[in-house]
Chains A and B, each alone.
Chain A
Amino acid sequence: MAPILRTEHLTHIYGKGTPFETAALNDIDYTVEKGELIGIIGHTGSGKSTFIQHLNGILKPTSGKVLLDGEDINASAESLKRARSRVGLVFQYPEYQLFEETVEKDISFGPGNMGLSEEEIKERVLEAADFVEIGESLLSKSPFELSGGQKRRAAIAGVIAMRPEVLVLDEPTAGLDPAGRKRLIGNILRYHEETGAAVIMISHSMDEIAESVRRVTALKNGSIVMDGTPREVFSQAEKLKKLGLSVPQVTKIAIYLREMGLPADTSVYTMSQAADAIASLKGGGSGA
């Protein structure tokens, strides 16, 4: 795989030169490969949101660079504009950015700003709406008439309609009910699979991260402290605990089982793996 997005010595200091000066990001070197599926975890205030807001130039690095295909995104106004459409950023509670009269118009805001033709915009709106399961009947409604979950999905469609090669989401499922969460994660994964776009998402739910991503990065005090496959990261339960994080519920169950003296595999992190591990425990007694 080829790298698409890279940060080099990325440092961000809030309130430089004031008594409130704090380093939010500390010399971060990070590479995102094309088509990767990454989960970013970290305690509140660890710098996750600050980090992702650098990826499309919403925040400017205090020092260091953000490179998209090797080009510094903050080099010029044009490169910044390109980066904004190639790296789609979905903020926390994106439904509060909806503003147009109809859902369709709102979704077309992004592609419209890219200067695309009418037909192209229309096509992209329908495609994006399809990804997030917003039906035709909803497209002509006012975004303010939608339910909470629908609003959230419509807002995400507004970013997807720009067909970003890297889709970055800051806690996309915060405040949704379990069904809404599952549905939204499914939508995001479908976008990832069908377009081959890289997806980076922040989440506080270890279960959600474990079930969906293939790489987990943990931040603490503005530095990357863990980076690897879910198996590598979630097998270090003690270290995660020190970071103020935890392991997925199913991993916890495996750890409890082991503490009870059963030879359970504690490197499981998804529901199906855990099911297999427990089944083999049961079977283990009969020698299977």
Chain B
Amino acid sequence: MLKDITLGQYFPGNTVAHRLDPRTKLILTIIYIVALFLAKNWFSYLLVLLSAAACFIITRVSFRAILRTMKPIVVIIVITAILNMFLTKGEPIFSFWVFSVSREGLKVALFMAMRLILLITFTFLLTFTTSPIALMDGLETLLAPLKKIKLPVHELAMMMGIALRFIPTLIEETQKIMNAQKARGADFDTGNIVKRAKAMLPLLVPLFVSAFRRADELAVAMECRCYHGDKGRTRMKVLKMEARDFFALALGAALLVCVVILGRYGL
């Protein structure tokens, strides 16, 4: 069950998507999200859907991995869709008691669900195809101008990188502690919600302790290798935009323009 968590996981590969500059991928993700929220009608939705599908095919991420990313948010999507379906006013298709479902409601619900699904899966593509280190470097260079206004960009990027790096480690740790407590007769799967919440304590306390221990060890290890933050730090791999990056960005821009035009003319 815990193995199913793919949050922030990186799948090494050698596709065009993997080779793109992390900055390109970050910008594309943002462009995509903007396009997604600008899409208002069938055609523009079709367009964003198709471009997402194309990206999935290019990255060669398995369909199952994509489905797994959806698992934790299924409930949110369903609730959003249902609320939109019932609460949107319009020409009713059918109704019973106080509930009525309108044509507009159905449309809004469908769009909303699609928007959420695409939003989540597309952003996951970023971490699927970009190693945490590349992502960190990309973010840092992109945000570099903000250093002028004293924003700790390097530190933020480093924190994000470390957080991503430790997700699988912590999942593994959780599984280990869970097994150890199960061996002592702990029961995580049955009982009411209060009992289950209490059962989490033997899991959470050791997990926190170990997270702090790891943080401490990591800090020492970094200092031992003379890490002193941003000042005077050089890179082994300097990011460089290639032709493919400009091509990808052009495609992204084209998508955005198309969605805007489609929205404008209500096609």
**Which A residues fall within an 8 A CB radius of B?**
53, 56, 58, 81, 84-85, 88-91, 94, 96-100, 109-110, 112-114, 144, 158-159, 162
Contact = CB atoms under 8 A, between A and B. Distances in A.
Contacts of A109: 181, 184-186, 202
B155 interface: no
A99 B201 contact: yes
A238 to B, nearest CB: 36
B206 A98 contact: yes
A97 B181 contact: yes
Nearest to B176: A91
B177 A97 contact: yes
A81 B185 contact: yes
A113 B177 contact: no
B185 A89 contact: no
A100 to B, nearest CB: 8
Contacts of B176: 91, 96
A84 B209 contact: no
A158 B180 CA distance: 11
Interface string B24-47: 000000000000000000000000
Nearest to B189: A77
B179 interface: yes
A97 B173 CA distance: 10
B187 interface: yes
A84 B181 CA distance: 10
Interface residues of B, number: 19
A110 B206 contact: no
A162 B184 contact: yes
Contacts of A85: 185
Contact of A91 (B183, B186, B205): B183
B169 interface: no
A114 B185 contact: yes
Contacts of A100: 202, 205
Contact of B179 (A53, A98, A162): A53
A88 B201 contact: no
Contacts of A90: 183
A202 B263 CA distance: 67
Contacts of A162: 184-185
B195 to A, nearest CB: 12
A96 B210 contact: yes
Contacts of A158: 184
A91 B201 contact: no
Contact of B184 (A96, A144, A159): A159
B180 A97 contact: yes
A178 to B, nearest CB: 24
Nearest to A101: B205
Contact of A99 (B173, B182, B185, B202): B202
Nearest to A161: B184
A162 B206 CA distance: 21
Given A97-B180, A99-B205, A113-B187, 13 more contacts: A85-B185, A91-B179, A96-B177, A97-B184, A99-B203, A100-B205, A109-B181, A109-B185, A109-B186, A112-B185, A114-B185, A158-B184, A162-B185
